[in-house]
Amino acid sequence: MAKAFKKQALGRGLSALLQDSKVGDNSLGVENNSTQIGTIVELELDFIEVNPFQPRTQFKEETIRELASSIQELGVIQPITVRETKANTFQLVSGERRFRASKLLDFKTIPAYIRVANDQEALEMALVENIQRQDLDPIEIALSYQRLIEDIQLTQEQMSQRVGKKRSTIANYLRLLKLDPLIQTGMRDGFISMGHGRAIVNINSHADQITIYKEILANKLSVRATETLVKSYNTPKAVKPTKNNDLPEFVKNGVQKIASYFGHKIEVKMEKKGGGKILIPFHSEEDYDRILKLIERDK
């Protein structure tokens, strides 16, 4: 099955970020006296299963081929990390790109570091390793942070310590998940940058977010231009003040009451025949729904 090499010292990788699991804590029944645990071995690829906790959702074929070309020349420089789930069966903890590239090359074995980890620890290690990578898109990183909060129940302060990032950086990534899914997809596909996303997220209405997103694509707006556009959306539009002197007395008496009821300054346009129009502005879809509920409530 697996031929163990002489145990090698590992550099500062995941072991420096996460505390090694105690063998006694393992929930999957790995034998405590296994001579393979804590060693680097040449492990057959057919004995390795992919990690079901893998947070990475996209593996670009081109980058896998580039990695395969490098491995063809230099070999697998950094071993993958696996955990034994049952006899003769191992599960990836980290290193899926190296695993995929090696399979692409029809390799039979791959250097693997075997360690003990339960399901939660395997998920945490996979998430932390992915966050450390440089080729992840911002949404993948944000989703990894979210899973660490929800599944591992880490606070932002604890995450900051685990991944070596400032809390403000973590918070900025998590805010991206408030973007409309269409915009998140656009960011993942490289149509807009994280800078664009950080600007758009300041708009609460998803409909307005999409309008701005389409304008960015149509006019190839820079991040700075996008920030200016967002600012204009968030700045209340100046409403020309109604000249009370031009209004009939019966209208003057009711304008302030109507404005207070709807929570907006209103505009009244008078017609020559004595009729007129009351204009009630709204600033977003949510604001429109609020006004609509006020009207429906008093039916």
Confidence of residue 1 (pLDDT cuts 50, 70, 90): very low
Mean of pLDDT values over 24-30: 34
Average pLDDT of the residues in 28-38: 48
Task: Give CA–CA dist 215/229, Å, rounded.
Answer: 10
Give 151-172 as a DSSP string.
Answer: TS---HHHHHHHHT--HHHHHH
282 pLDDT band, cuts 50/70/90, is confident
- Given a cut of 50, is residue 76 above it in pLDDT? yes
In this prediction, residues 17-30 reach a mean pLDDT of 36
User: Residues 102, 71: contact at Cβ < 8 Å?
Assistant: yes
SS3 call for 78: coil
In contact, 167 and 177? CB cutoff 8 Å: no
Say if residue 81's pLDDT is above 70: yes
**The pLDDT value given to residue 185:** 92
Where are the strands (E) in the chain, listed by range?
Answer: 3-4, 40-44, 48-49, 80-86, 89-94, 109-115, 267-270, 276-279
Lowest mean pLDDT among 30-39, 85-94, 118-127, 177-186: 30-39
Q: Which residue has the higher pLDDT, 96 or 17?
A: 96
Residue 255 has pLDDT above 90, yes or no: no
pLDDT band for position 39 (cuts 50, 70, 90): confident
Q: Which CATH architecture has domain 3-117?
A: Alpha-Beta Complex (3.90)
Q: What is the average per-residue pLDDT within 257-261?
A: 78
- For residue 109, the model assigns a pLDDT of 93
Percent of the chain with pLDDT over 90: 26
Q: How many CB atoms lie within 10 A of CB 241?
A: 8
Kindly write down the DSSP assignment for every residue of 234-274, as one continuous string: HSPPPPPPP-GGGS-HHHHHHHHHHHHHHTS--EEEE-TTS
- pTM (2 decimals)? 0.52
Domain ranges of the chain: 3-117, 179-235, 244-297
- The amino acid at residue 143 is L
pLDDT at res. 134: 59
Q: Is 44 a catalytic residue?
A: no
What is the four-CA torsion angle of 96, 97, 103, 106, rounded to 10 degrees? -150
Query: What is the per-residue pLDDT across 218-234, written as a single tens digit (0 to 9) for each?
Result: 999 999 999 999 988 88
Residue tagged active-site, from 84, 96, 124, 140: 96
Question: Does residue 23 have a pLDDT over 70?
Answer: no
Higher pLDDT, 183 or 88: 183
The whole-angstrom separation of Cα 266 and Cα 278 is 7
Where does the pLDDT of residue 146 fall: very low under 50, low under 70, confident under 90, or very high at 90 and above?
confident
